[in-house]
Amino acid sequence: MSRTLWQVVLAIAWLLLKILSWLGPQKLRLFFSERARPWTAVPKGMPVVWVHASSGEIESARPLFRRLKQERPEIFLLVTAFSPSALSLRQRSPEIDFFCLAPWDFSFAVRNFLEHFRPRCVVFSRGDLWPETLHQLKQKNIPSLLMAYSPHNLHRWQLRLLKQLSRILVVSEEGQKTLRSHALQSDVGGDPRFETVVQRLQSSRLGARPWKEKTLVLGSMWPEDESALFLGIEWWLDQGGKVVWAPHEKHSPPQMTRWNLQLWSSQSWRENVKILWVDQIGPLAELYQWGDVAIVGGGFRRRVHSVMEALAAGCPTASGPKNRNSPEAQDFATMTLPSGLSAFTPLNSEAQIHLYLETAWHLSEDQRAEDRAFLQKQIQARQGATETVLQWVQNQIQS
């Protein structure tokens, strides 16, 4: 698509959204009103580092925000997102000097934004790239870096955007091979979210699992997930296993009267308990450490929740079929564990659910230990992103 045609398409989209904002929800009105807010002035002599991410990925860049201000307190940290969903970041991230919504990708809007802030360099997190923005950055010789990128099923228009960047950091060697097949250079740089997850696990006070039985962890379950998995859960319990069951939203435990169920909040688990019902928000990420296998919710509803915590805990992980929203799911689905299981498995039917649980059940203790060690090694290889990006930013400021 040519730049002119892109501007026409963008104008039509802008007009339609503007009309809808007069009739639609508050969030859509914020989409425009927040972009009308005046920009702050940058103190004289402070080099501007601009970090941009989609609203859903902005949290993954927070370790980078903290490190940038710790190592280089003299910089002006400008952070943008495209959607108003990330507006709460203003209050939660004091290390950010200014947060605003990114300009619409109109040529005049991008030009005004760049002339006002004059960034020394730009870091994009994971892949929220805009054609006109990248064109003008390259035209003005402003270095740009894409971090924590996981390429999958690349289209021609995506390749054109990637070629505008100064440097690309992919999460894994598999991503590097994918880009190399399209004649694009990249470096393996990891993902800052893995660093956050691993740090949490390392500081966990959860302790060892208080039973020996094989354990299935159900994380962030919606009713649609529970309905699809119900027979598989019963099969697992019938074999003598235990289940750690964490609903995404608080609701009453299911009516499974055959099985002893206990609430996590009781903190005194009976030896014969079969289902540990997690009735508090917070402990799930650490509870994956108790699992021999995990199924993450959302995949039988609209979109899978984060699979990163389960994988970092060393659990072979699965979800329902709606998992394309998760780069980690796509990345680890291509990875075969020493036992023969996939690191991540999409489950599309009752038969697949049963086969997956049956295969996981029959793994020996040694096989489970090998799988766990293999996964943790893969997670370790995906760390280091914050340090790599920090070094790149420092080089741009000093040059």
Q: What gap in Å lies between CA 87 and CA 80, rounded to an integer?
A: 10
SS3 content of the chain, % helix, strand, coil (to 5): 45, 15, 40
The helix (H) or strand (E) run that includes residue 226 is helix 223-238
The verdict on 221 and 358 lying in the same domain is yes
Q: What is the pLDDT of residue 131?
A: 95
Inter-CA distances, 370 with 316, 339, 341, 374, Å: 11, 8, 12, 6
In a domain, 15, yes or no: no
Give the global pTM.
Answer: 0.78
CATH of the domain at 249: 3.40.50.2000
As to burial, measured by CB atoms within 10 angstroms (0-12 exposed, 13-18 middle, 19+ buried), residue 121 is buried
Q: What gap in Å lies between CA 259 and CA 216, rounded to an integer?
A: 15
The verdict on 360 and 316 lying in the same domain is yes
Pairing of strands 215-221, 187-188: unpaired
- Torsion angles phi and psi, residue 190, rounded to 5: 80, -165
Q: Read out DSSP for 20-71?
A: HHHHS-HHHHHHHHGGGSPPPPPPTTPPEEEEEE-GGGGGGGHHHHHHHHHH
Sheet with 344-346: list strands edge to edge: 261-263, 275-277, 242-247, 215-221, 293-296, 317-319, 344-346
Q: What is the pLDDT of residue 270?
A: 66
Inter-CA distances, 378 with 173, 308, 346, 351, 366, Å: 11, 12, 19, 29, 18
The verdict on 171 and 49 lying in the same domain is yes
Domain range for 268 is 207-381
The verdict on 237 and 374 lying in the same domain is yes
Q: What is the pLDDT of residue 75?
A: 94
The verdict on 233 and 313 lying in the same domain is yes
Please count the structural domains in the chain.
2
The verdict on 212 and 318 lying in the same domain is yes
In a domain, 144, yes or no: yes
pLDDT digits (tens, 9 = 90+) for 241-294: 999 999 998 777 766 657 788 888 887 766 678 999 998 888 898 999 999 999
Q: Read out DSSP for 108-126?
A: HHHHHHHHHH--SEEEEET
Nearest Cα residue to 254 out of 280, 286, 222? 222
Q: 158's torsion region: left (phi>0), alpha (psi -120 to 50) or beta? A: alpha
The verdict on 239 and 225 lying in the same domain is yes
Q: What gap in Å lies between CA 240 and CA 25, rounded to an integer?
A: 49
Half-sphere exposure of 376 (CA within 13 A, CB side): 14
Low-confidence ranges of the chain (pLDDT < 70): 56, 60, 89-91, 254-257, 269-271
Q: Read out DSSP for 308-361?
A: HHHHHTT--EEE-S--TT-HHHHHHHT-B-TTS-BSEEE--SHHHHHHHHHHHH
CATH of the domain at 159: 3.40.50.11720
Pairing of strands 317-319, 344-346: parallel
The verdict on 370 and 280 lying in the same domain is yes
Residue 175 CA to chain centroid, in angstroms? Answer: 16
The verdict on 129 and 273 lying in the same domain is no
The verdict on 139 and 251 lying in the same domain is no
The verdict on 315 and 166 lying in the same domain is no
In a domain, 343, yes or no: yes
